[in-house]
């Protein structure tokens, strides 16, 4: 069974630009969540999507957005990039049970903003 | 509010030593779930174990064991006879009974010296 796949793995963007990251969940998983990992703030929850609807949202500015498609694949977008957005962005998927699920992570997308 | 504390930032042990990673959590919920994940340098968080709040049985899986004590709100992880391959950052996490938002500790970086 293929794991969670994230693309691209590495990218460099300039301040002010926008970026879109993609995530393909494990087959059969309908929940996809996104996390930002930085040395200073650790792992922080961005948002979770379930059946194309945003179910939970973390405490991030509106520049961070996401969506989920009917095949459960998800994208997140960051607009007007700031230097502080440099981070590892991790996507995780989980099976359809409502709560208490184990989430399975992809390898992440390393974003550097210069 | 939910909170997970991993007071040990970095630990170094010599190969074959036993090591315990501490995790203390805070929640007012009666139903919740606790997890441990391992993050090697590649970035992907690898699931190790899931525990629900009603299951205080300790668990052993090979060289790994977990001690869950609700009385002290702790969920500690012990590696017996550590190996170099155990070198990684280990995260403890908590999720509630609704949704899939995970609250992560700041992680413990374990280095096993050959």
The DSSP result for B15-70, as a single string, is TT--EEE--EEE---SSEEEEEEEE-TT---EEEEEEETT----EEETTEEEEEEG
Rounded to an integer, what distance in angstroms lies between the CA atom of residue B42 and that of residue B54?
Answer: 34
Is residue A96 within 8 A of residue A102, CB to CB? The reply is no
Interface check B75 vs A, CB under 8 A: no
CA dist B104 and A1 (Å) reads 26
Residue with tokens 């790994």: B64
**Alpha-carbon distances of B64 from A35, A38, A48, A112, rounded to whole Å:** 26, 28, 30, 35
Q: Does B36 touch chain A (CB under 8 A)?
A: no
Q: Which of B44, B46, B101 sits opposite A56 (nearest CB)?
A: B101
**pLDDT at residue A45, as a whole number:** 96
CB-nearest to A88 from B43, B50, B105 is B43
pLDDT level of residue B41 (50, 70, 90 thresholds): confident
Tokens of A51: 């059946």
- The 3-state DSSP class for residue A111 equals strand
| One pLDDT digit (tens) per residue for chain A, 114 residues | 679 999 999 999 999 999 999 999 999 999 999 999 999 889 999 999 999 999 889 999 999 999 999 999 999 999 999 999 999 999 999 987 666 788 999 999 999 999
Answer for the pair A36, A44: CB distance below 8 angstroms, yes or no: yes
The closest CB to that of B104, out of A42, A55, A99, belongs to A42
Count of domains for chain B: 1
Alpha-carbon distance B104 to nearest alpha carbon in chain A (angstroms): 6
Rounded to whole angstroms, the Cα distance separating A100 from A37 reads: 22
CATH code at position B63: 2.60.40.10
pLDDT at site A1: 61
Domain that includes residue B75, residue range: 3-113
């Amino acid at each position: 069974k293929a794991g969670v796949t994230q693309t691209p793995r590495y990218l460099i963007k300039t301040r002010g630009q926008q970026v879109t990251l993609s995530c393909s969940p494990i087959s059969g998983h309908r929940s996809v969540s996104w996390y930002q990992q930085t040395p200073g703030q650790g792992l922080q929850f961005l948002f979770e999507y379930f059946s194309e609807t945003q179910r939970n949202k973390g405490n991030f500015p509106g520049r961070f957005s996401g969506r989920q498609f009917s095949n459960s694949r998800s994208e997140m977008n960051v607009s007007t990039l700031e230097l502080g957005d440099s981070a590892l962005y991790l996507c995780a998927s989980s099976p359809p049970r409502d709560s208490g699920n184990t989430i399975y992570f992809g390898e992440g997308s390393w974003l550097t903003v210069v | 509010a939910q909170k997970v504390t991993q007071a040990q930032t970095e630990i170094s042990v010599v190969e074959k030593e036993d090591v315990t990673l501490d995790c203390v959590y805070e929640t007012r919920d009666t139903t919740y779930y606790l997890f441990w994940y391992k993050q090697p340098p590649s970035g992907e968080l690898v699931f190790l174990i899931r525990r629900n709040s009603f299951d205080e049985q300790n668990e052993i899986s090979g060289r790994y064991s977990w001690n869950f004590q609700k009385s002290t709100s702790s969920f500690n992880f012990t590696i017996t006879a550590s190996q170099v391959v155990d070198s990684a950052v280990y995260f403890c996490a908590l999720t509630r009974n609704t949704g899939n938002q995970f609250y992560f500790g700041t992680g413990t970086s374990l280095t096993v010296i050959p």
